Amino acid sequence: MIRSLLAVAASAVAAALAVTAPASAAPLIPQPVGPTENPPSPAVCLRPTTRPDIAKIMLTPEQESQQTWPEGRLRYPDIWRYSQGAGVVVAVVDSGVDAHHEQLTGRVRAGYDVTAGSAVTVGADTDCRAHGTAVAGIIAARPVAGRAFAGMAPAATILPIRQTWGVDGRGQISPGSTANLIRAINLAVAAGAPIVNVSVVVDARVLPAAERAQLVAAVRNAAAHDVLIVAASDNRAEGGGQQDAATPYPAALASQYDNVIAVGGMDHTGAIDQATTTRDFVSVVAPDTGMPCPMPGGGLVQCRGTSFATPFVSGLAAVLLARDRRLTAAQLKRRIELTADHPPTELPDTVGGYGYGAINPIAALTELLPAVPSAASAAPGNGPLPAPHGSDRRSRVIAFGAAGGATVLVLGVVLGAAVVPRGRRRRWAPGG
Cβ atoms of 294 and 279 within 8 Å: the answer is: no
Lowest-confidence region among 16-20, 211-215, 227-231:
16-20
Q: Is residue 8 part of a domain?
A: no
How many domains does the chain contain in total? Answer: 1
Q: Is residue 285 part of a domain?
A: yes
Residue 70 and residue 105: Cα distance in Å, rounded?
Answer: 23
Quick one: pLDDT band at residue 109, thresholds 50, 70, 90?
very high
Of the candidates 419, 411, 413, which has an alpha carbon nearest to the alpha carbon of residue 167?
A: 419
CA torsion angle 419 160 211 415 (round to 10):
-10
Sign of the four-CA dihedral 121, 127, 131, 136: positive
List, for residues 345-354, the tens digit of each pLDDT value: 888 988 888 9
List, for residues 44-88, the tens digit of each pLDDT value: 787 777 777 888 889 999 999 999 999 999 999 999 999 999 999
Domain span at residue 408 reads 32-386+398-430
Res. 239: pLDDT tops 90: no
Q: Is residue 3 part of a domain?
A: no
- Helix ranges (H only) for 252-370 are 306-323, 329-338, 361-366
Quick one: pLDDT band at residue 425, thresholds 50, 70, 90?
very low
Quick one: pLDDT band at residue 14, thresholds 50, 70, 90?
very low
List Cβ neighbours of 150 (8 Å cut-off, separation of 6 or more).
71, 76, 103, 141, 142, 143, 144
Res. 202: pLDDT tops 70: yes
Quick one: pLDDT band at residue 245, thresholds 50, 70, 90?
low
Quick one: pLDDT band at residue 172, thresholds 50, 70, 90?
low
More confident site: 22 or 283: 283
Cβ atoms of 2 and 124 within 8 Å: the answer is: no
Q: Is residue 270 part of a domain?
A: yes
List, for residues 385-413, the tens digit of each pLDDT value: 333 333 333 334 443 322 222 222 333 33
Cβ atoms of 378 and 342 within 8 Å: the answer is: yes
Hey, how many other C-beta atoms are within 10 angstroms of the C-beta on 170? Answer: 9
The domain spanning residue 235 has which CATH number? 3.40.50.200
- Label residues 266-303 b or e (16+ Cβ within 10 Å = b): bbbbbbbbebbbbbebbbbbbbbbbbbbbbbbebbbbb
Q: Is residue 16 part of a domain?
A: no
Reported pTM? 0.81
Q: Is residue 341 part of a domain?
A: yes
Q: Is residue 22 part of a domain?
A: no
Q: Is residue 261 part of a domain?
A: yes
pLDDT at 402: 27
Quick one: pLDDT band at residue 173, thresholds 50, 70, 90?
low
